[in-house]
């Protein structure tokens, strides 16, 4: 069936991450959040990686973030969805830091953190509050968001991209909370992350999981496809294999327990009133959570703790 569907799509793309031409067209997905434009979601059958095509290039992608409700760049918006997002984020800050234990052995040296896609800097702020010796750097292309992050603490430094970080700076811990799926030069970033990490340093990555129950239930309407802002879509197996090519070994994975509800709430946007939407999202998120408790690799999102091999 996949082959038949692919054969009806002219001008098949090459997977940008692998160079493979063995790709198939899975869905056409709508950018519900901003432009209402339609983007294809394709699968590289050799690696299992999904990618958005056609995707805006770096010079064009900015306009797809120009929306009032892009919550990771604005932590103080009104409205129910924003309130849910803010509450979940506050609860999860401590949990995220606990996931990272034990920290890499730094001897007497303070732990140096790089948070890729740091947004408004709440993760770094929480880390400094609980670990005053922490050295916190962030990467954030949005100037508005990075300005908010810098105002949180004079211990925070934010760079517009990873190439702007001083050349000899290295880190014990690099985090990317739902950030890698946004990055055009993902292979280059993975190489840089490996180069900038100390031996046995940790790379913590959170990603949506397109093999989750909620992803399969909603199909092209699954909110975590978030085209065209999300350029890449990984399964646990595909991401683990991809990371291994850059010298990272998977140590453990964690579920993000609130993600199913938030993603289902966004996915239920069409044709539902507030209460009906809330109830339907709650029921479907409960099913997704139950499935993930039995099969962690079917969680709506997963956190991957990767260790750089010495």
Break the chain into its structural domains and give their ranges: 2-308
In the prediction, which pLDDT does 119 show? 92
- Under CATH, which number does the domain 2-308 receive? 3.40.50.150
Please compute the mean of the pLDDT values over residues 248-261 and round it to a whole number.
94
Nearest to 72 by CA among 229, 215, 222: 229
Quick one: pLDDT band at residue 105, thresholds 50, 70, 90? Answer: low
- pLDDT on residue 85: 62
Give the pLDDT band (50/70/90) at residue 191. very high
In angstroms, the CA 149 to CA 158 distance is 7
Closest by CA position to 40, among listed 6, 65, 67, 70: 6
Place 101 in a pLDDT band, splitting at 50, 70 and 90.
confident
77 pLDDT band, cuts 50/70/90, is low
- pLDDT on residue 83: 61
Lowest-confidence segment of 55-69, 127-141, 148-162, 198-212 by average pLDDT: 55-69
18 Cβ neighbours under 8 A, 6+ residues apart: 44, 46, 47, 49
What are the residues whose beta carbons fall under 8 Å from the beta carbon of 103, sequence distance 6 or more?
Answer: 111, 172, 173, 202
- Residue 20's pLDDT band (cuts 50, 70, 90): very high
pLDDT for the residue numbered 108: 61
pLDDT of residue 275: 84
How big is the CA angle at 119 (ends 292 and 52), to the nearest 5 degrees? 60
Q: What is the mean pLDDT of the chain?
A: 89
Q: How confident is the model at residue 124 (pLDDT cuts 50, 70, 90)?
A: very high
50-53: strand order across its sheet: 23-30, 38-44, 50-53, 232-233
Give the bridge partners for 248, in sequence order.
308
Give the tens place of pLDDT for each residue, 27-41: 999 999 889 999 999
pTM, to two decimals: 0.89
Closest of 203, 133, 214 to residue 170, by C-alpha: 203
**Six-digit token string for 118:** 């740091």
- Provide the pLDDT confidence category of residue 134 given band limits of 50, 70 and 90: very high
Bridge partners of 306, per DSSP, are 203, 250
The pLDDT score that the predictor gives to residue 1 is: 40
- pLDDT in the model for residue 5: 45
Is the pLDDT score of 273 beyond 80? no
Q: What is the CA radius of gyration of the chain?
A: 19
Please list the residues that pair with 301 across neighbouring strands.
Answer: 208
Residue 4: per-residue pLDDT:
38
When pLDDT is cut at 50, 70 and 90, the band that residue 168 belongs to is confident
21/44 Cα distance (integer angstroms): 8
pLDDT at residue 66, rounded to an integer? 81
């Amino acid at each position: 069936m996949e082959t038949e569907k692919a054969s009806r799509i002219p001008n098949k793309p090459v997977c940008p991450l692998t160079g493979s031409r063995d790709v198939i067209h899975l869905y056409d997905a709508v950018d519900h959040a901003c432009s209402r434009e339609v983007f294809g979601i394709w699968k590289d059958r050799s690696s299992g990686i999904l990618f958005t095509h056609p995707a805006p290039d770096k010079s064009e992608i900015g306009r797809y973030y120009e929306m009032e409700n892009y919550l990771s760049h604005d932590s103080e918006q009104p409205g129910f969805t924003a309130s849910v997002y803010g509450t979940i984020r506050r609860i999860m800050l401590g949990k995220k830091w606990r996931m990272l234990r034990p920290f890499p052995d730094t001897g007497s040296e303070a732990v140096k953190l790089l948070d890729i896609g740091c947004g408004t800097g709440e993760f770094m702020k929480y880390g400094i509050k609980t670990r005053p010796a922490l050295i916190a750097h962030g990467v954030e292309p949005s100037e508005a968001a990075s300005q908010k992050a810098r105002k949180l603490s004079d211990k925070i430094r934010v760079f517009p991209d990873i190439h702007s970080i001083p050349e000899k700076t290295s880190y014990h811990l690099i985090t990317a909370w739902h950030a890698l799926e946004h990055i055009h030069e993902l292979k280059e970033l993975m190489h840089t992350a490996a180069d900038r990490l100390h031996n046995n340093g940790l790379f913590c990555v959170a990603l949506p999981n397109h093999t989750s129950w909620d992803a399969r239930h909603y199909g092209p309407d699954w909110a975590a496809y978030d085209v065209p802002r999300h350029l890449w879509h990984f399964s646990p197996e595909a991401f683990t294999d991809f990371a291994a090519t850059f010298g990272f070994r998977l140590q453990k994975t964690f579920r993000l327990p609130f993600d199913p509800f938030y993603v289902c709430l966004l996915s239920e946007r069409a044709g539902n009133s507030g209460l009906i939407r809330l109830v339907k999202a709650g029921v479907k998120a409960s099913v997704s959570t139950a499935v993930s408790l039995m099969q962690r690799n079917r969680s709506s999102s997963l956190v991957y703790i990767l260790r750089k091999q010495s």
